[in-house]
Amino acid sequence: MNVPPSMPPYFQWIIDKRLAICAHPYHASHIRYLLEQRIQTVISINDSHSSGMPNHTRGELRVHNIYIPDGAAPSMEQCQQFVRSMDIARQRGEGVVVECTRGKGATGVLVGCYLLAIWQAPPDYVVNHLRLIRPITLETTAQEQQIIDFHKAIAPSQRHFYNDVNEPDSWDIDTSYLKTTPLATTNQLSLA
């Protein structure tokens, strides 16, 4: 029987055609959708009580299981392994989906660490970006801290795009309004 593709729950591209997040793709139609999107590698995050993707749904996908307790942050070693897995998938021209029960928490940490590695950006920029595009991504301060710690671990080997910026006026955009526009007061913000 030919099953039409359907998007897995909470599916979202983080980097178009390269990196996505979703909840467990438990149905054959979800796998068909992933394959149509050229996703061939699944990073499956499970706590010790779950078995991850059911075997009958794996099909043609490469599934890598990572065990992280619910609500916890991945270890430094798990973050580094994820970045290596992403590099391998990129070299193969494959997309990757990171999936867990709800597609947030530890999933967001792994994605944040990868964005740190490829963007060479400060951790607050990556955390804010993740919160902007997927507000549910990070659940705990320990998860945010892991992104900061990963940045500290890889920072010595990278030249960051913000090193040469000392003042906002040195940016290529007009920031003169920063010196003339008064900031909103707490009272004004509460009325908005």
- pTM for this one? 0.76
Is the residue at 173 inside a domain? no
pLDDT tens by residue, 10-64: 999 999 999 999 988 888 899 999 999 999 999 999 886 555 555 545 668 888 8
Nearest to 146 by CA among 101, 80, 85: 80
User: Which has the closest alpha carbon to 30: 97, 121, 95?
Assistant: 97
Q: What is the span of the domain harbouring residue 51? A: 12-165
Average pLDDT over residues 139-155: 90
* CA 20/CA 182 separation, integer angstroms: 39
Q: Is 100 a catalytic residue?
A: yes
Opening angle at CA 67, ends 41 and 80, nearest 5:
65
The DSSP annotation for 89-142 comes to: HHHHT-EEEEEESSS-THHHHHHHHHHHHHH---HHHHHHHHHHH-TTS--SHH
157 part of a folded domain: yes
- Of 22, 79, 100, 113, which one is the catalytic site residue? 100
Q: Residue 145 is part of a domain; what is its CATH number?
A: 3.90.190.10
Identity (one letter) of the amino acid at 78? Q
Q: Is residue 154 part of a domain?
A: yes
Q: What is the pLDDT of residues 29-44, one digit of tens each?
A: 999 999 999 999 999 9
pLDDT attached to residue 179: 57
Specify the number of domains making up the chain. 1
Q: Is 177 among the domain residues?
A: no
Q: How much is the pLDDT for 140?
A: 86
In a domain, 6, yes or no: no
pLDDT tens digit sequence for 59-102: 688 888 899 988 889 999 999 999 999 999 999 999 999 998 76
